[in-house]
Amino acid sequence: MAKPLAFAPIPTGLPATVPFIGPETLQRQRGRPFAARLGANENGFGPSLKAVQAMREAAAEIWQYGDSTSHDLLQALAAHLSVPPRHIVVGEGIDGLLGLLVRLMIAPGDAVVTSDGAYPTFNYHVAGFGGVLHKVPYREDREDLQALTAGARETGARLVYLSNPDNPMGSWHDGPAIEAMLDDLPEGTLLLLDEAYIEFAPDSAIPRIAADDPRVIRMRTFSKAYGMAGARIGYAFGHPDLIAGFERIRNHFGVNRIAQVGAWAALADHEWLAHIRQEVAAARDRIARIASDNGMQPLPSATNFVTVDTGRDGAFSRNLVAWLEEEGIFIRMPGVPPLDRCIRISCAPSDELDILAEILPGVLARHG
């Protein structure tokens, strides 16, 4: 029998790994579902009921392709952001948009700067298109804006990745600091500002950047505050010439009709978003109390999760994640030192946090 054809050179040199192991995979491995799903930074409080109803009605039309331009959603986003529609592109969540941007901007061998321990899916896309990653460490559990800028100068980076608020630490920078960073970046470097958690952040974290500023592209999602992670829909906004570039490479029918309708309805339901913010704030406080009650230090968070300093090392944190998994509690942790001294717990309804509060002390007593 003939052997399969060889892969192209770049994927041939890549490991067959994924950035995250999903909770469904872990559940299949353990043979039963999790009692508390606190690891994927999903919005367990759910989407707007108006969005659910809109998606339910759209399901009967699923035989139709989605609008290739996402016109109605694009118009709603333009009003929401107070920018012209030509500044915005809709895509299959931030993960999909990250891949498109890297493909658009990075040739094999081009330098890219990120933080060591920051969102691994971005790194996955850079490797997939042959870019060269340069990583700088966090400073005081926040992405180091000065180090990122210096790294861009030293490497001639085409692209710098920054998430604000940050995953996995939940930390954030105020808008003026990001505006100053933009002014310090070398010419020819594009700042990729991932704002997946911006709806949970204080207003002071939102930078004031002109819609036509060519030095930055900003990405947001309906996966977090809007509770639509399974729909895979998000958007990017920036200079219209940069946004127009996505038309050259994007999957024009990649965003499905149900997701488009649901996102449009969710964006319009301001009352539900306010409700979600209240629920998440209360859950953050509850997680912080649980951590403190068990001798651990919750870190300040502007996201829908709380990162908890265990006061131990990465080996202990990895074991704690595994011990809790055995007890039916799914959490995650940062992947590199010194961040890996921490665990990360997603906000969730009170019944799931009740399970965490009940189980965690016993786990620590047995293994701590």
Same domain, 242 and 292: no
- Do the domain assignments include residue 15? no
* pLDDT of 368 over the 90 cut: no
- Do the domain assignments include residue 5? no
Domain that holds residue 98: 50-268
* CB within 8 Å of 244: residues ≥ 6 apart: 86
Domain boundary among 244, 268, 292: 268
Helices 257-268 & 71-81 angle (0-180, nearest 10): 30
Same domain, 165 and 238: yes
Question: Considering only CA atoms, which of 136, 203, 205 is closest in space to residue 170?
Answer: 205
Same domain, 339 and 204: no
Same domain, 264 and 121: yes
Using pLDDT thresholds of 50, 70 and 90, give the confidence band for residue 19: confident
- Do the domain assignments include residue 112? yes
Question: Which pLDDT value is given to residue 21?
Answer: 87
- Do the domain assignments include residue 9? no
**Can you tell me the distance from the alpha carbon of 290 to that of 356, in angstroms, rounded to the nearest whole number?**
8
Using pLDDT thresholds of 50, 70 and 90, give the confidence band for residue 354: very high
Cβ(237)–Cβ(218) below 8 Å: yes
Question: Considering only CA atoms, which of 64, 68, 90 is closest in space to residue 77?
Answer: 90
Give me the residue label for tokens 């961040």.
339
Question: Which pLDDT value is given to residue 16?
Answer: 85
Number of domains the chain is built from: 2
Question: Which pLDDT value is given to residue 1?
Answer: 79
Domain boundary among 237, 268, 299: 268
Question: Which pLDDT value is given to residue 3?
Answer: 86
What is the CATH number for 113? 3.40.640.10
Beta bridge partners of 90: 235
Question: Which pLDDT value is given to residue 17?
Answer: 80
Same domain, 149 and 97: yes
Same domain, 137 and 259: yes
Q: What is the pLDDT of residues 70-122, one digit of tens each?
A: 999 999 999 999 999 999 999 999 999 999 999 999 999 999 999 999 999 99
- Do the domain assignments include residue 1? no
Same domain, 209 and 299: no
Same domain, 161 and 243: yes
- Do the domain assignments include residue 11? no
**Can you tell me the distance from the alpha carbon of 278 to that of 296, in angstroms, rounded to the nearest whole number?**
24
Question: Considering only CA atoms, which of 199, 125, 208, 203 is closest in space to residue 161?
Answer: 125
* Of the listed ranges 28-32, 36-40, 203-207, 337-341, the one predicted with least confidence: 28-32
Tell me how crowded residue 358 is: count the other CB atoms within 10 A of its CB.
13
Q: What is the pLDDT of residues 149-196, one digit of tens each?
A: 999 999 999 999 999 999 999 999 999 999 999 999 999 999 999 999
Question: Considering only CA atoms, which of 192, 45, 40 is closest in space to residue 106?
Answer: 192
Q: What pTM was estimated for this model as a whole?
A: 0.96
Angle (CA) 316-141-177 rounded to 5° is 165
Same domain, 251 and 298: no
Question: Which pLDDT value is given to residue 55?
Answer: 98
Question: Considering only CA atoms, which of 235, 252, 262 is closest in space to residue 68?
Answer: 252
Same domain, 39 and 57: no
- Do the domain assignments include residue 353? yes
Question: Which pLDDT value is given to residue 231?
Answer: 97
Question: Which pLDDT value is given to residue 2?
Answer: 83
What is the CATH number for 360? 3.90.1150.10
Same domain, 163 and 224: yes
What value does the mean pLDDT of the chain take? 97
Question: Considering only CA atoms, which of 55, 73, 40 is closest in space to residue 220?
Answer: 73
Domain boundary among 268, 285, 310: 268
Same domain, 247 and 328: no
Please give the average per-residue pLDDT across 302-321, as a whole number.
98
- Do the domain assignments include residue 2? no
